[in-house]
Structure 1
């Protein structure tokens, strides 16, 4: 009955107005990319725009994709339909994803789901914080026996080397152009690695390395989903990555995945009631002896930023200092320092110390290389907000315009959302939401 309540979808109306599209045009564009049996009527978009109705899958996600391509920047489910209150659609893919035994077999199941081209997972499907914290504790326990490995496909170290190269290339593309560009490719490759685990012939050592490769790919799928605003799908991929990291016996990979969950929880609804500081601090303590200084600095920076989001200034500044100290004496760490400066700048922005935020964010933007364009664009928007909050409105507008130019065509909902929030704050002179 909620769909019968007249509730105009202002975001859909705004995008259609920006494109100069009528609802009939939207209906034609959506029908053109779907199989004939799924075509929609010319009047359906009027109901979405004027009455707040939410289309069922796959039409809901298809509308986002069609509008995203037309606008030139990602349009997400949360942005378009999240406030309309439908509550319909796909629910939890596997309700036991967190509670199933942490074995190699269940890791394969989780990886298979993360790589599947399934129906969209909605914001209502987010795990609770206590559920995620329980999963985050499992990866540090002793790894289980590697089962399988008796299939017909002989796996050799050369295949693992190829998987590593493929992963690194997708990771570089994601950092430059956004998660939307590589999401489908990464999911397809994860599905392929899942097949190798299922059908391959490998010994225990090679099997654990193969699970590590699968875990890194699942983490990339999760990060790309998060970058596109698909929070629940991102969580499931991260949990699959945790399960694979557990089987691989690689605690460094496990800490990295927990760090991704903590970033998600710091900025939005990634985990209802999840305490990002507590979860990542526990993970860091469990693996502190095996982390490199660069890895330790990255995770400490994430913890400092999460403290800042909670308004805990003393703790935030103490952890930030530890993060910079972790890089002392490390050669060739300019990029790591730039990442850390960006996180600490965001921390100060959360705490309302806009002048220090401006300095740190300016340092980060200046030092990040061109191949880190997505992060650079995001931090430029944060820097523009810091300038706006210190009264330098012309400088803020200039930096935001540079970020907008850099982000043109970029498939990153996070950057698009940050730009929209900055523009709204600049118009209304209200604080920028995280």
Structure 2
């Protein structure tokens, strides 16, 4: 009965107005991509727009995809339907995802859920900060025995090499074009690796490497979900990645996943009380002497930015100085340094120190390669917002236009949301 309450979907109305589409036009576009027998009526979009009704799966996601392609920037489930109050499609995954024993078997269960093509998970399904902190401590404990490995499919080192190459290619695509481009592919590959763990034949060393491959893929699924604004689904994929990293016995993988959770808690509501500084600092101490300079600098940059979010300028500057020192004597890390400049620049922007923020953001934007287009576009929007806040509207608009041009067609809800927030702030000031 909740769907009968009149509650206009302002976001859907705004996008239709931007495209110049009538509800009938939306119905035609949706029906053009739906399988035979699943067509909607021409009046259905009126109910979505004017009465706040939420279509059932797969129509809900199809509408997002159709509008995203037409607008040129991703339209996410949470953006379009998340505020409408219907609980259709919401799927609560295992409530014991954090509390189940940290064994190889439960890691396989978590990986299966992360790779499943289930209904959207809503923001109300986010974990609490204390729950995540408790889970994040497990990765540093001794790894459990690798069980299984007695199936019919013989796993060889060559398959692991292929999985690593596939992961790296998807990661490059995600960094250039956004999480929406590779999310379904990464989930499908994660499901495949889950099948290899379940049905494969492998000894313990090879099994731990296979869990490591699964951890990387689950982390990529989580990051792509985060980039698309699916915070709860991202969190669950990160926890699956953490469980697989624990079984793999590689602490570097665990620190990388904790770093992703810290990023989510810094900028999004994904923390629910989580302190990203404390959690990631603890992870770094536990992995002392294990991380490469690149990995250590990345996590320190994330800590510095989180200090900026908390308004702790002295701590932010001290951690940033440590991060730059880590990379100072290492050659061939131009992109890593650009990443670090961008994160520290964002930290200064959060502190309101626009002069220091701009010099770092400009250096990062200038150095980031075309393969890092998503990060570059996001930093351009941050820079444009800095100009807006200090009253330099012409420069703000020029910088935002550059970001908009770079982000055209990019499947990144983070970039789309940042541009939308910037435009809203500019209109409000005008």
Question: What TM bracket, shorter-length normalisation?
Answer: over 0.9
Matched residues in 2 for 1:32 and 1:332: separation? Answer: 49
Match of 2:406 in 1: 406
Match in the other structure for 2:63:
63
Residue in structure 2 matched with residue 161 of structure 1 by the alignment: 161
SS at 2:238's partner residue?
Answer: helix
TM-score (norm 2): 0.97
For 1:396 and 1:144, the matched residues in 2 are separated by: 53
Quote the Cα distance in structure 1 between the aligned partners of 2:145 and 2:190: 21
Cα distance per residue 1:280-331 (max 9 Å; x no partner): 1111111122011211111011011111112222222221122112212112
Matches within 5 A, 1:228-243: 228-243=228-243
Correspondence for 1:426: 426
CA distance in 2, matches of 1:163, 1:409: 28
Deviation at 1:41, TM superposition (A): 2.6
1:33-432 equivalences under 5 Å are: 33-429=33-429
Q: Give the 3 Å change call, closer, same or farther, for CA 58–271 of structure 1 in structure 2.
A: farther
Distance (whole Å) between structure 2 residues aligned to residue 364 and residue 107 of structure 1 = 38
Q: Any conservation in 1 of the 2:91–2:119 contact (CA below 8 Å)?
A: no
Measure, in 2, the Cα distance between the counterparts of 1:379 and 1:366: 11
Q: Number of matched residues?
A: 430
TM-score (ref. length: structure 1):
0.96
Partner of 1:327, secondary structure, is helix
1:334: Cα distance to partner? 1.5
Distance in 2, matches of 1:199 and 1:6, equals 51
The DSSP-based 3-state class of the residue aligned with 1:120 is coil
Deviation per CA, 1:210-235: give whole Å up to 9, x if none: 10011001101111111111111111
Deviations 1:228-259 (A, max 9, x none): 11111111111110010000001000000010
Instruction: String of CA shifts for 1:256-282, please: whole Å, max 9, x gaps.
Output: 001001111111111322211111111
Q: Is the 8 A contact 1:266 1:309 kept in 2?
A: yes
Q: Is 1:18 aligned to 2:18, yes or no?
A: yes
Q: Distance in 2 between matches of 1:282 and 1:66?
A: 43
Could you tell me whether the CA contact under 8 Å between 2:52 and 2:84 is conserved in 1? yes
Q: After alignment, is 28-37 or 69-78 more displaced?
A: 28-37
Deviation string 1:158-207 (CA, Å, 9 cap, x unpaired) is 11111111111111111111111111111111111111111111111111
Q: Per-residue CA shift, 1:55-85, capped at 9, x if unaligned? A: 3333222221111112121001221122223
CA RMSD of superposed structures (Å): 1.5
Q: Distance in 2 between matches of 1:150 and 1:160?
A: 17
Mapped contact 1:53–1:84 kept (Cα < 8 A)? yes
Cα distance in 2 between the residues matched to 1:118 and 1:2: 23
Q: Deviations over 1:86-132 (max 9, x none)?
A: 34432311111111111001111111111111111112211111111
> The residue matched to 1:291 in structure 2 has which SS?
coil
Using the alignment, how far apart are the partners of 1:157 and 1:282 within structure 2?
A: 33
Worse-superposed segment, 71-80 or 326-335: 326-335
Q: Counterpart of 1:139 in 2: which secondary structure?
A: helix
Contact 1:89 1:122 in 2 (8 A): no
Segments of 5+ residues of structure 1 without an aligned counterpart are: none
Structure 2: runs of 5+ lacking an equivalent = none
Q: Kindly indicate whether the alpha-carbon contact (under 8 Å) linking 1:61 and 1:120 is maintained by their aligned counterparts in 2.
A: no
Q: Deviations over 1:5-41 (max 9, x none)?
A: 3322211111111112111222232233334454333
SS for the counterpart of 2:243 is: helix
1:2 Cα deviation from its structure 2 partner: 4.1
> Secondary structure of the residue that 1:74 maps to in structure 2?
coil
Q: Distance in 2 between matches of 1:140 and 1:57?
A: 39
- Work out whether residues 73 and 408 of structure 1, in 8 Å CA contact, stay in contact via their aligned partners in 2: yes
In structure 2, the residue matched to 1:29 is: 29
Contact 2:301 2:323 in 1 (8 A): yes
